[in-house]
Amino acid sequence: MRDDEPPGWALPSWDALDVGTRPAIRSGQGRPAGTFGPRILGVTEVTRAVRDALREDPRLGDLWVEGEVGRVTISSAGHAYFTLRDQKSQLACVFFREDRQGSAFEPQAGMRVVVHGRIDVFDAQGVYQCYVAAIQPAGFGDLALRFEQTKARLAAEGLFEARRKRPLPARPKTIGVVTSLSGAAIHDIRRVLARRWPLVEVVVSACRVQGSGAAETIVAALGRLALYDSGCREAGRPAEAPGLVIVARGGGSLEDLAAFNDERVVRAIAAHPVPVVSGVGHETDVTLADFVADLRAPTPSAAAELAVPDRLDVLAALRARRWRLDETATRAAGRIPAGQGDGRHPGPHRRRPPRGRARWARSRAARGRTAPPRTWAAGGGVCRARRARPGGDPCPGVRDRPSGRRWDDRPRSGRVAAGDPAPASRCPRRAGRPGGGGLEWVIS
């Protein structure tokens, strides 16, 4: 029996597989004596082998690399993570905080740079990356260069001037939204509107927000909302026209947001008949749509918050005004001169309020201050409690609402109820928003 053959008592397994034409590995060349079959390596061993091979290459220990910077991320520790890319490949880069503090230049997405560093392996993730020691600009990338050229040309025309900005309505009854129906932005906007101001109605003009041809669909969506606005005003229903328009999509790279840097989209926003709120990308993303819009929001959710007031703030203001009116009425009741009024007030020597007012004052003194009125959520409005019914609740609940009757809701939209059919002049598709109140219409 040869030295490289297993003993006869060994069970047949993959240890006895024929390795084909591969030359046999002798015990002294790659494995301990007395072992048979291929050697199994651990993940750490493979990673270290790759790391050692990279470190032995003199070209990768000290190199200069030129490329276009992708999306830049700054960690809480101050380290910068970005990618360098060209037409076919990309390289992950790490710029540590100590090196960043000594650098006069910061990497920015879309810029062409030259970095100096070394290639090494990050063992914990098993990836190779460039550890940057220095960075310097090499010029702009193609997308960033077109962005700056378009921005300079449109700014020279005055499209970005502050005097062109229009104020937003305080309490819009209808809001137009230009975004994709399949993205997360529309759901964020609906959720915020339902929470803050559920009386508002939403008209969605669907479009594509990324990829080839997205700019044309955005321009067409804005045009449909402008046509809808003019149709409502010509029909004598200006209250149904959108008070403002939200243009929104989620975050992404410079390539993903390229449609909102298109000159046609910028000019369509500038020419729109109602104010436009831009909610494109995340807080660090900047597009030309942000410069031309009447108001820029960092995210789609923030755009919805800026578009409508908070119903809790409005209710608190109304309650405060009612309390002030009650205080004024209470003080004025004891200072009415004799001979004026309806004859029920006593002379100035008594200075006593009428019988009903005295009982109200005593009950108020027992409570310490005027209690706020009780309110209930009622289909997007607020139902104010009236005098309690014997053995019942002052205000009927949602399930107890009589058929064909309306509550004394404050405030109410005064428009189409949630259960009514869609008017023929509206869009063919309608969807109710979560949270109650309001309507959502989709035009295409």
Stretches where the chain sits below pLDDT 70 are 1-37, 139-141, 334-440, 444
The stretches of 244-354 forming alpha helices (DSSP H) are 263-270, 288-292, 300-307, 311-333
- Give pLDDT, residue 364: 52
- Are the beta carbons of 180 and 208 closer than 8 angstroms? yes
- Give pLDDT, residue 371: 41
The whole-angstrom separation of Cα 187 and Cα 358 is 54
- Give pLDDT, residue 140: 62
Q: Per-residue pLDDT tens for 54-109?
A: 999 989 999 999 999 988 999 999 999 999 999 889 999 999 999 888 787 788 88
Q: Which segments within 53-195 are labelled E, that is strand? A: 63-69, 73-74, 80-85, 90-95, 111-122, 127-140, 174-179
b/e sequence 16-46, b meaning 16+ C-beta within 10 Å: eeeeeeeeebeeeeeeeeeeeeeeeeeeeee
CA angle 171, 173, 177 (to 5 degrees): 105
Strands 244-249 and 174-179: parallel
The whole-angstrom separation of Cα 300 and Cα 305 is 9
- Are the beta carbons of 191 and 435 closer than 8 angstroms? yes
Picking from 416, 405, 403, 412, the residue whose alpha carbon sits closest to that of residue 379 is 412
Instruction: Write out the H or E segment, with its range, that includes residue 363.
Output: helix 355-367
Owner of token pair 């005055």: 158
Token reading at 127:
């990836």
CA angle 6, 11, 17 (to 5 degrees): 60
Token reading at 139:
């010029």
Q: What is the pTM of this model?
A: 0.54
- Give pLDDT, residue 149: 86
**Number of Cβ within a 10 Å radius of residue 65:** 16
Instruction: Write out the H or E segment, with its range, that includes residue 442.
Output: strand 440-443
- Are the beta carbons of 51 and 57 closer than 8 angstroms? no
The whole-angstrom separation of Cα 164 and Cα 294 is 8
Q: Per-residue pLDDT tens for 135-169?
A: 888 866 677 778 888 999 999 999 999 999 999 99
- Give pLDDT, residue 143: 77
Count of CA atoms in the C-beta half-sphere (13 A) of 132: 30
- Give pLDDT, residue 204: 95
Domain formed by 171-330+424-444, architecture: 3-Layer(aba) Sandwich (3.40)
**Number of Cβ within a 10 Å radius of residue 221:** 27
- Give pLDDT, residue 253: 81
- Give pLDDT, residue 254: 81
Domain 171-330+424-444 in the same topology as domain 61-144: no
CA angle 380, 384, 389 (to 5 degrees): 125
Domain spanning 61-144: CATH superfamily: Nucleic acid-binding proteins (2.40.50.140)
The whole-angstrom separation of Cα 398 and Cα 400 is 6
DSSP codes joined into one string, 37-91: SPPPPPHHHHHHHHHHHHHH-HHHHSEEEEEEE---EE-TTS-EEEEEE-SS-EE
- Give pLDDT, residue 142: 72
Amino acid at 398: V
- Give pLDDT, residue 375: 32
- Give pLDDT, residue 2: 56
Residue 156 DSSP symbol: H
- Give pLDDT, residue 374: 37
Owner of token pair 């990279």: 54
User: Domain residues of the chain, as ranges?
Assistant: 61-144, 171-330+424-444
Furthest-apart CA pair in the chain: how many Å? Answer: 134
The helix-helix angle for 185-196 and 300-307 (nearest 10°) equals 30
